[in-house]
Amino acid sequence: MFLETYRQCIAACYACATLCDRCAVACFEGNNPQAMTRCVGLVMDCAQLCRSAAALMSRQSEFVDTVCDACADVCSACAVECSHHNVGQCRQCADACVQCANLCRETARETQAGGVAFA
**How much is the pTM?**
0.90
Low-confidence ranges of the chain (pLDDT < 70): 1-5, 115-119
The reported pLDDT for the residue numbered 47 is 98
The reported pLDDT for the residue numbered 16 is 98
CB 27 within 8 A of CB 90: yes
CB 47 within 8 A of CB 13: no
Examine residue 117 and state whether it is found in any structural domain, yes or no: no
Examine residue 46 and state whether it is found in any structural domain, yes or no: yes
The reported pLDDT for the residue numbered 86 is 84
H helix runs in the chain, sequence order: 4-29, 37-58, 64-83, 88-112
Examine residue 42 and state whether it is found in any structural domain, yes or no: yes
Residue 27 makes CB contacts below 8 A (sequence gap 6+) with 33, 36, 39, 40, 43, 85, 87, 89, 90
Angle between helices 4-29 and 64-83 (to 10 degrees): 40
pLDDT digits (tens, 9 = 90+) for 105-118: 999 998 888 755 54
Domains in the chain: how many in total?
Answer: 1
CATH number at residue 36: 1.20.1270.360
Examine residue 30 and state whether it is found in any structural domain, yes or no: yes
The reported pLDDT for the residue numbered 1 is 38
Residue 83 makes CB contacts below 8 A (sequence gap 6+) with 90, 91, 94
Alpha-carbon distance 86 to 118, whole Å? 42
Examine residue 108 and state whether it is found in any structural domain, yes or no: yes
The domain of 85 spans 4-112
Examine residue 118 and state whether it is found in any structural domain, yes or no: no
The reported pLDDT for the residue numbered 115 is 58
Examine residue 119 and state whether it is found in any structural domain, yes or no: no
Alpha-carbon distance 40 to 56, whole Å? 24
Examine residue 59 and state whether it is found in any structural domain, yes or no: yes
